[in-house]
Amino acid sequence: MKKTLFGTLLLGVMFLSQAMAGFTGPSAQTVSTVEEAKKMSDDAHVILRGNIEKKIGHEKYMFKDKTGTIQIEIDDDDWNGLNVSPEDMVEINGEVDTHMMKPTDIDVDSIRLVK
């Protein structure tokens, strides 16, 4: 009984450590600007650094960097417990979402604080 419980716990720890493991060095993807993102094609992957100025609707925010502003959408579950203010520099990863009748926005997949 004790061996079975220990084995199950050990397998769980091994699974979690593998699930959280990964490469932590630089990537080939570079940080873009809001100005550049507005010119990208639909579904293009983008990384932006700047500040979230304000909430403008359910899961919708205004994001600003030194080149301009753009609307972003961050699903509630993508925050992962992170709290930010307009003074906090953040990095967002997501996809460009172009629209026929609305301005381009960014569908955010992940967000992190930049230190």
Average pLDDT over every residue of 89-105? 91
CA 1 from chain center: how many Å?
44
- Structure confidence at residue 102 (pLDDT): 81
If one counts the domains in the chain, the total is: 1
21 in any annotated domain: no
- Structure confidence at residue 26 (pLDDT): 55
CATH number assigned to the domain comprising residue 75: 2.40.50.200
63 in any annotated domain: yes
Residues in the chain, overall count: 115
Does 78 score more than 90 pLDDT? yes
Write down the pTM of the prediction.
0.74
pLDDT class of 6 with cuts at 50, 70, 90: low
96 in any annotated domain: yes
Average pLDDT over every residue of 59-80? 96
Average pLDDT over every residue of 68-85? 95
Contact 50, 65 (CB under 8 A): yes
16 in any annotated domain: no
- Structure confidence at residue 83 (pLDDT): 95
19 in any annotated domain: no
- Say how far apart CA 69 and CA 9 lie, in whole Å: 48
55 in any annotated domain: yes
- Structure confidence at residue 10 (pLDDT): 53
Range of the domain at 105: 31-113
39 in any annotated domain: yes
7 in any annotated domain: no
